[in-house]
């Protein structure tokens, strides 16, 4: 779940950056910066906001936080460094979080990104551990589509305002804990897991319902009556443990039934897109992406749409051993759709195969580093994630 972090009236936030130590800087609408003090391992929300004026009476456009550094970009393209930042002490010493003053650099840039080892990069549309896609393209697991209303956007600092950044390097203490857990697993569990059967049901369950399936030609999209059926074979997490069958008939040839069977393991994302019924009518539809196949499905009610969206995400998330309905722990990519839905990308293989799970919340942008996740809503309210679950289409 998400916890609202209040900001003083008149200090609405436009951009946010979270560093590897949890230090959070934001940019307010008036061009000044707000720094969250008191953030530590026991208090990820922090205690207070401290206002930091922009350098030389200019206005800030973007900030990027590292371990012991904060870099800023003003609206005139000038680059500034904030001296005196000490990230590891920032949770206990406000001066270490706020810094001592601004130092002007000689370059002019359009975007900044600070890595987890305080290396600074300047990019136009790419930053460390991030990428940008045109609004008429799907994520890397699919081919391009010209339907910009159903595309996912993960650009950093783009004109659409969608933003994401997530660090890929782990702290030494975290690596040590993971190593100890793996060693304990090898000793206490691995040799015994094949001896005892799981005390859980191993049958098959099926969910089915009527729908309308999009069938497009070069000029128009026709919605054909159809049937959607999801089959899950027990709880085994194998590539053959479930399928999604889409059946439909052309309105002019009801006798002929077209059928497409998708392996659940091949589905990389399911999200809500838009479909134009006519020049004056736009409604939501379910978009399912699997390898090089894209399906658009409509339902008679929004309740059915939300129910299918939640079911597919939960089943596919469980198939890929993604725990919970937020999927944030262990995620490699955070992204926001053009409808404000938050998706978390989990890497499934070494060749950059990802599954994107719908998480809770409705946001304009999100930023994260080493498990600490902050988000900014469309009404400029700040949220911090508290490792809960549920919300949105997921019924608590």
In the prediction, which pLDDT does 237 show? 59
Q: Which residues pair with 60 in a beta bridge?
A: 74
228: Cβ contacts below 8 Å, ≥ 6 apart: 208, 209, 210, 211, 244, 245, 246, 247, 297, 308
In DSSP terms, which residues pair with 288 in a beta bridge? 270, 295
Both tokens assigned to 258: 């077209």
Task: Locate the domains of the chain by residue range.
Answer: 1-131+157-169+362-396
Give the per-residue pLDDT at 180. Answer: 82
Contact 51, 32 (CB under 8 A): yes
Tell me the two tokens of residue 27.
Answer: 């940019």
- pLDDT at residue 255, as a whole number: 65
Which residues lie below 8 Å from residue 195, measured CB to CB, with a gap of 6+? none
What is the reported pLDDT for 223?
86
Question: In this predicted structure, what is the pLDDT of residue 17?
Answer: 94
Determine contact, residues 17/375, Cβ cutoff 8 Å.
no
Question: With contact defined as beta carbons under 8 Å apart, do 380 and 323 qualify?
Answer: no
**What is the mean pLDDT, run by run of 10 residues, along the chain of 396 residues?**
86 92 93 93 90 92 92 92 90 91 85 80 44 36 34 34 39 74 77 59 79 78 89 67 87 72 92 67 82 90 91 88 69 85 86 85 84 85 76 69
Three-state DSSP class for 185?
A: helix
Take residue 203 and report the two structure tokens written for it.
Answer: 């049958």
The tokens describing 63, both together, are 């900030």
């Amino acid at each position: 779940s998400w916890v609202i972090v209040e900001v003083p009236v008149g200090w609405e936030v436009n951009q946010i950056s979270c560093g590897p130590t949890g230090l959070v800087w934001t940019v307010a609408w008036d061009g000044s910066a707000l720094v969250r003090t008191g953030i530590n391992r026991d208090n990820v929300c922090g205690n207070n906001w401290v206002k930091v004026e922009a350098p030389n009476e200019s206005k800030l456009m973007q900030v990027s936080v590292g371990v012991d550094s904060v870099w800023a970009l003003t609206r005139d393209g000038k680059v500034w460094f904030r001296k005196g930042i000490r990230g590891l002490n920032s949770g206990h010493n406000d001066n270490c979080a706020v810094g001592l003053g601004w130092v002007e650099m000689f370059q002019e840039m359009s975007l900044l990104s600070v890595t987890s080892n305080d290396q600074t990069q300047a990019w136009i549309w790419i930053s460390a551990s991030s990428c940008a896609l045109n609004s008429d393209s799907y994520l890397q697991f699919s081919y391009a589509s010209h339907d910009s209303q159903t595309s996912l956007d993960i650009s950093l600092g783009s004109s659409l305002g969608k933003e994401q950044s997530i660090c890929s390097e782990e702290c030494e203490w975290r690596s040590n804990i993971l190593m100890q857990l793996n060693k304990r697993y090898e000793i206490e569990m691995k040799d015994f897991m094949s001896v005892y059967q799981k005390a859980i049901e191993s049958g098959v369950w099926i969910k089915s319902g009527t729908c309308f399936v999009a069938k497009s030609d070069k000029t128009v999209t026709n919605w054909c009556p159809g049937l959607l059926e999801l089959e899950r074979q027990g709880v085994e997490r194998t590539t053959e443990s479930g399928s999604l069958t889409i059946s439909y008939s052309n309105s002019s040839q009801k006798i002929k039934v077209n059928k497409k069977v998708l392996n659940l393991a091949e589905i990389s994302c399911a999200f809500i897109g838009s479909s134009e019924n006519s020049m004056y009518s736009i409604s939501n539809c379910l978009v399912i992406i699997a390898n090089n196949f894209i399906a658009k499905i409509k339902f008679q009610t929004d309740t059915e749409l939300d129910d299918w969206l939640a079911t597919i995400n939960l089943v596919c998330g469980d198939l890929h051993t993604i725990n919970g309905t937020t999927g944030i722990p262990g995620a490699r990519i955070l992204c926001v759709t053009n409808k404000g839905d938050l998706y978390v990308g989990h890497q499934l293989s070494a060749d950059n195969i990802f599954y994107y799970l719908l998480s809770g919340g409705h946001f304009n942008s999100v930023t994260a580093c080493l498990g600490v996740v902050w988000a900014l809503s469309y009404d400029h309210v700040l949220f911090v994630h508290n490792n809960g679950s549920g919300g949105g289409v997921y019924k608590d």
